[in-house]
Amino acid sequence: MNPLIAPSVLAADFANLQREVEMINESESDFIHVDIMDGVFVPNISMGLPVVEAINRHAKKPLDVHLMIVTPERYLSDFKKAGAAHITVHLEACPHLHRTVQTIKDLGCRAGVALNPHSPVSQLEDIIREVDIVLLMSVNPGFGGQSFIENTYAKVQKLKKLIVETGSHAKIEIDGGVSMENAKKLVDTGATILVAGNFVFSSKNPQETIKKLKNIG
Ligand code: DX5
Ligand code: ZN
Nearest-CA residue for ligand 1 atom 4 is 144
CA distance 133 to 158: 15
Tell me the average pLDDT of the chain. 98
The finding on whether 10 has its CB within 6 A of some atom of ligand 1 is yes
Half-sphere exposure of 132 (CA within 13 A, CB side): 17
| Residues 2-25 pLDDT 10s | 999 999 999 999 999 999 999 999
| Residues 78-87 pLDDT 10s | 999 999 999 9
Tell me the domains of the chain and their CATH numbers.
Answer: 4-214 (3.20.20.70)
33 appears as a binding residue in the annotation: yes
8 appears as a binding residue in the annotation: yes
Catalytic residues: 35, 175
| 64 pLDDT above the threshold of 80 | yes
Cα distances (Å, whole numbers) of residue 122 to 27, 39, 166: 36, 28, 12
The finding on whether 112 has its CB within 6 A of some atom of ligand 1 is no
pTM over 0.95: yes
| Residues 158-171 pLDDT 10s | 999 999 999 999 99
CA distance 66 to 69: 9
| 217 pLDDT above the threshold of 80 | no
Atom number, ligand 1, closest to the C-alpha of residue 196: 12
Atom number, ligand 1, closest to the C-alpha of residue 66: 7
The CA 147 to ligand 2 mean position distance, Å, reads 14
In the three-class reduction of DSSP (H, G, I as helix; E, B as strand; rest coil), residue 49 is classed as helix
| 97 pLDDT above the threshold of 80 | yes
48 appears as a binding residue in the annotation: no
Query: Quick one: what percent of the chain has pLDDT higher than 90?
Result: 99
Query: Quick one: what percent of the chain has pLDDT higher than 70?
Result: 100
The finding on whether 11 has its CB within 6 A of some atom of ligand 1 is yes
The CA 127 to ligand 1 mean position distance, Å, reads 25
**What pLDDT is stored for residue 191 in this prediction?**
98
Q: Which residues pair with 216 in a beta bridge?
A: none
| Residues 156-210 pLDDT 10s | 999 999 999 999 999 999 999 999 999 999 999 999 999 999 999 999 999 999 9
